[in-house]
Structure 1
Amino acid sequence: MSTPAHGPSEPGGVAPQAGPTADGENAELLEIALEAARRAGALLRDGRPADLGVAATKSSPIDVVTEMDIAAEKLITAYIGRQRPDDGFLGEEGASSEGTSGIRWVIDPLDGTVNYLYGLPAWSVSIAAERDGEAVVGVVEAPMRRETYQAVLGGGAYVEGTRAHCRPAPDFEHALVATGFSYLRERRVAMAEVIKGLLPQVRDIRRGGSAAIDLADVGCGRLDAYYERGLNPWDLAAGALFAREAGALTGGRPGEPPSGELTLAAPPGLFEPLQRRLDELGAWHD
């Protein structure tokens, strides 16, 4: 029989909150993901140095890594590795191993690094567990929101003990759509052209700075849709599962799954026309 899986109980003996339905190994994976994300979120929130600086750059000089990204990934992989030593890893800051169990952890230890560097609150920890390449558990921890988003394949999506549901599809012209931008200069020029074509046709555009939070916000009904080009597996694995379990559709170009070319999340009825429009606008290429 399926039973609700819960995160760690609150201090003072408060009962754990309701969470996704999970059986067997999925329940174990969810518990581990919740605890790893909680620990990393606390480290990032409470351990941020006043003189935080850039430790390295990635795709361009403005695509940065801080010492806290690296520390958070080490914390997560060490914790999960103690619990499940045979699992594999794919992490943004370099954690990579095949494993032998069929489970791979896909980790973004700090999604929204530039926000974090500047002291803006829209950053998160994203952890997904994949079985044979399919995300089965996803957790997005947003410490500055005091919210944890958790989902299990077939078991629903929850935020702070409440079942999450995406909004019903609005008319296209009333859609609030979030997106993100590359740190590559040439790609930004193409992205600006897509925005130029899309903005007059929808309610408005939002740019939050954390793909994981944007995907979770679609699942929570705080956004009607989200799209972005250039995401990596760790950016979208947990958030896309959450959005789907909350009733949204996810994909890339028509007929394709979410990918680095294009990731889109929206409720049925909005997903299809938005996907077509983004394809027409060339949102999938530079």
Structure 2
Amino acid sequence: MTEPTTAPPEDAEGAEQAENRALLALALEAARRAGALLRDGRPDDLGVAATKTSSIDVVTEMDIAAEKLITGFLSERRPDDGFLGEEGASSEGTSGIRWVIDPLDGTVNYLYGLPTWAVSIAAERDGVRVAGVVEAPMRGETYHAVLGGGAFLGERRLRCRPAAPLEQSLLGTGFAYVQSVRAHQASVVQRLIPLFRDIRRGGSAAIDLCDVAAGRLDAYYERGLNPWDLAAGDLIAREAGAVTGGRAGDPPSRELTIAATPELFGPLQALLEEHGAWHD
């Protein structure tokens, strides 16, 4: 009598990893197309009257158009997947895969003609991020990662910076647009800045997280991020060897997001807790 055979666990793992890479390939192409749309469709004089409603409307229209491009591209190829997007894309799907999309991270930079803006796309399987892309067209850079497969800038594998003491570390952060919240965030920075080499504010959470992965920042933290702001960048940072989290024992969240070299994560988390960086 022939015994029934079952695939060994490693075969299932291999199939899952192959699907993750297929998801990454789709995310790379969708991000490339959306990045080109945003780069080539931006009027040259958009930032001249940056306070005018008409200028803001153009940015919103580009944001929505980029998200529609991404969701349309992915839906054609994977119609059973779900979506969560900054501009309203939301569906559960039936495949267990959900795409988390920020079509334009760094909208104020985009409005003013600054290069630090990006398209961020992550794929989650049953709530676990398995592939992520951050496309920064004006920097000519594409960051990407697959769970368990490392993080890359183009073809170059990324590693976060080697250990450095607090006073020799470069820290990134961001600020909310609500004035009362910004005032508290500024008071936290005031306490932190004497302890670090310096502090940077880039204006795109997705790129800040990738800069930790690439060793351009030793650490980064921010309060107020949404899932689409951090989904791809968090995976890329972790796959580059960084530690990410929120308050002690918590994952990155709207309350607090931290990414840092392994040696710096604990001390930074303790400082942020001490100074109340997790509340307004």
Compute the TM-score of the two structures, normalised by the length of structure 1: 0.88
Does 2:101 align with 1:107? Answer: yes
**Correspondence 1:148 to 2:150:** no
Give a deviation string over 1:81-139, Cα, whole Å, max 9, x none: 00100000000011000100000000000000000000000000000000111110000
**Per-residue deviation at 1:54?**
1.1
Name structure 2 gaps, 5 residues minimum: 1-9, 47-54
Tell me the SS of whatever aligns to 1:107. strand
Which residue of structure 2 lines up, in the alignment, with residue 32 of structure 1? 26
Q: CA deviation at 1:24?
A: 2.1
1:54-95 CA distance string (max 9 Å, x none): 129xxxxxxxx5211111001000000001000000000110
1:191 shift after superposition: 0.2
Letter in 1 for 2:263: G
Aligned to 2:56: 54
Q: 1:33 Cα deviation (Å)?
A: 0.2
Alignment pair present for 1:227 and 2:221: yes
Tell me what 1:198 maps to.
192
1:167-215, CA deviations, whole angstroms, 9 ceiling, x for partnerless residues? Answer: 0121011110000000111111110110011001111000000000000
C-alpha distance after superposition, 1:140-182 (max 9, x if no partner) = 0000111100000001001020100000121011110000000
The residue aligned with 1:254 is 248
Q: CA RMSD in A?
A: 1.4
Of 146, 158, 167, which residue of structure 2 is paired with 1:164? 158
SS in 1 for 2:151: strand
Match of 1:282 among 273, 276, 279: 276
- Provide the C-alpha distance between the structure 2 equivalents of 1:51 and 1:174, rounded to a whole number of angstroms: 40
Query: 1:69 aligns to what?
Result: 63
Please state how far the C-alpha of 1:50 moved relative to its aligned partner.
3.4
Give me the whole-angstrom Cα distance separating, in 2, the residues matched to 1:72 and 1:260. 24
Percent of matched pairs sharing the same residue = 72
Which residue type is aligned with residue 183 of structure 2? V
Please state how far the C-alpha of 1:51 moved relative to its aligned partner.
Answer: 5.0
Please give the TM-score of this superposition, normalised by the length of structure 2: 0.90
Rounded to whole Å, the distance in 1 between the matches of 2:17 and 2:224 is 34
Answer with 1 or 2: which has the greater Rg.
Answer: 2
Superposition deviation, residue 49 in structure 1: 2.1
Deviation at 1:28, TM superposition (A): 1.2
Match of 2:167 among 162, 173, 193: 173
- 1:239 match: secondary structure: helix
SS at match of 1:110: strand
* 1:270, distance to aligned residue in structure 2 (A): 0.4
Q: What residue number does 1:270 align with?
A: 264
Partner of 2:143: helix, strand, or coil?
strand
> What secondary structure sits across from 1:54 in the alignment?
helix
- Alignment partner of 1:184 out of 164, 178, 182: 178
- Structure 1 residues 210-230: Cα deviation after superposition (integer angstroms, max 9, x where no partner): 000000000000100000000
Which residue number corresponds to residue 115 of structure 2?
Answer: 121
CA–CA distance in 2 between the matches of 1:194 and 1:139? 31
Look up the SS of the partner of 1:167 in the other structure. Answer: coil
> How far off its partner does 1:30 sit?
0.6
Distance 1:236 1:265 in 2: 10
d(CA) in 2 for partners of 1:124, 1:278: 27
1:285 maps to a residue whose letter is H
Partner letter of residue 133 of structure 1?
G
Tell me which amino acid in the other structure corresponds to 2:209: L
Helix, strand or coil for the counterpart of 1:188? helix
Greater fraction helix: 2
